Amino acid sequence: MSGQAEGIAIVGGGFSGAMLAARLAERGMASTLVNRTTDFGRGVAYSTPFDGHLLNVRSARMSALADQPGHFVAWLEANQPDLADPDGFAPRRVYGDYVRARLETVEAAHPGLVRRVIGDVAAIDDDGLRLSDGSRMAARAVVLATGNPAPRTAEVGASDRVIADPWASGTLDRIGLDDNVLIVGTGLTMVDMLLMIQGRGWTGRATALSRRGLMPRAHGERPDPALGPTETLLSGPLSRRLHEARRLSDSGGWREVMEGLRPITADLWTQADLSTRRRIVRHLRPFWDVHRHRLAPGIGATMQRLAAAGRLTVVTGRVRSITPHDHGVRLDWRARHGDAEPLTAPWLIDCTGPGHAADADPLTAPLIESGRARLDPLRLGLDLDPMGRVLDRDGRPDSALFVLGPPARAAFWETIAVPDIRKRIEDVASALAP
């Protein structure tokens, strides 16, 4: 074994893992941060080099510290004063610089409490980790902060014209400037990919397919005030609550309703019974996502211009098959109300979102098989307790195994945005305190 048995091993060096390591160090706890690359602190979300990729949350809400809400804006004022608008949407690349700077600042202030390791984790053991090179790392607890995995809808290797992982470095460079593209998925990833290829001078057309044809909504030009939720919105049958949300949206604005729900969403999810959760996932999740996780106003306007110019067409239906076709890709699909003509283009980009499958993941599948972990009833991910501890097959929390960040959605629902993750960081840090 290598490493200190009294330390904490964090798998994943993106925002969640890096900021947890920093918070633990500030509380006097040692950790080892294991990441596949040298780019600690960025992860997939903030590693984009394209400045057209903006944050989806205003800068005033993007502090990495729960108790210092102005921390990010203060950092911008000192390092990027031209971007220091609290109500603005900074480039994600710049936010990655901020995360890295915070980690480095904490490392300098607390020498020896954060250890960085570059490598792939092959397995989680009872007393630590095993890396792909065969080395072992002892730890008193392990935190899985692996971020969002690549999409899984398009079969990898089906065609070299299928871009199955759109975030892989340089993968979009193969698309010709006048090539048409097919896109599976109409959410935030689709928007990011269109922005990136358009930033390279792309002039082609895109056809995007999703089951409901929903695209992310945009923020207002200025921050929206929160509309306090009514008692009817917070309790009772889901159908009645949905009717109330629509009524409030009609009278006070849907953004205002979402702002009122934002601080209590995780609590509402954890308080909901299984039947209510199942109905939310089955019927409301797509509508919730496009209203909750919004675009910067300028990006929303760009998407509208692409659609108005006929360069972005959204169709509603389900994928039947994706196959090579001449010098491109053929997408067979079924429309909501019947068969549809196949779609063809030189390229297809899989933008269906994270392909979470805990029972197929090489790290978590063995934990489920051994009984150390279990899937949540809706199979959204591993089952966790309110502190983020993994529950075993009998529902007992494991004080040596935690999940943090996007993979914890099954337990908390809202685990993607920084304001939600930083709260979870505080909970995990408290649970890990000796």
Furthest-apart CA atoms within the chain: distance in Å: 63
Q: What is the mean pLDDT of residues 164-192?
A: 93
Q: How far apart are CA 358 and CA 355, in angstroms?
A: 9
Q: How far apart are CA 162 and CA 434, in angstroms?
A: 49
pLDDT at 2: 42
Helix (H, G, I), strand (E, B) or coil at 374: coil
pLDDT in tens, 351-360: 987 655 667 7
pLDDT in tens, 76-104: 999 999 999 999 999 999 999 999 999 99
Q: What is the mean pLDDT of residues 319-331?
A: 90
pLDDT at 234: 92
Q: What is the mean pLDDT of residues 40-63?
A: 93
Q: What is the mean pLDDT of residues 362-390?
A: 92
Q: What is the mean pLDDT of residues 110-119?
A: 96
pLDDT in tens, 144-175: 999 776 666 655 446 789 998 888 888 999 99
Report the Cα 66 to chain-centroid distance in Å: 19
> Residue 1: pLDDT above 80?
no
Q: Mean pLDDT across the chain, nearest whole number?
A: 91
Please indicate whether residue 63 or residue 2 has the higher confidence score (pLDDT): 63
Q: How far apart are CA 425 and CA 404, in angstroms?
A: 7
Pairing of strands 141-144, 397-403: parallel
Q: How far apart are CA 257 and CA 291, in angstroms?
A: 10
> Residue 289: pLDDT above 50?
yes
Q: What angle do CA 381, 382, 386 make, to 5 degrees?
A: 110
Share of residues in the chain with pLDDT > 70 (%): 95
Q: What is the mean pLDDT of residues 314-323?
A: 93
- The torsion angles phi and psi of 230, rounded to 5 degrees, stand at -85, 165
> Residue 246: pLDDT above 90?
yes
pLDDT at 356: 58
Q: What is the mean pLDDT of residues 384-413?
A: 93
pLDDT at 3: 42
Q: How far apart are CA 369 and CA 389, in angstroms?
A: 18
| pTM reported for the whole predicted model | 0.91
Helix (H, G, I), strand (E, B) or coil at 314: strand
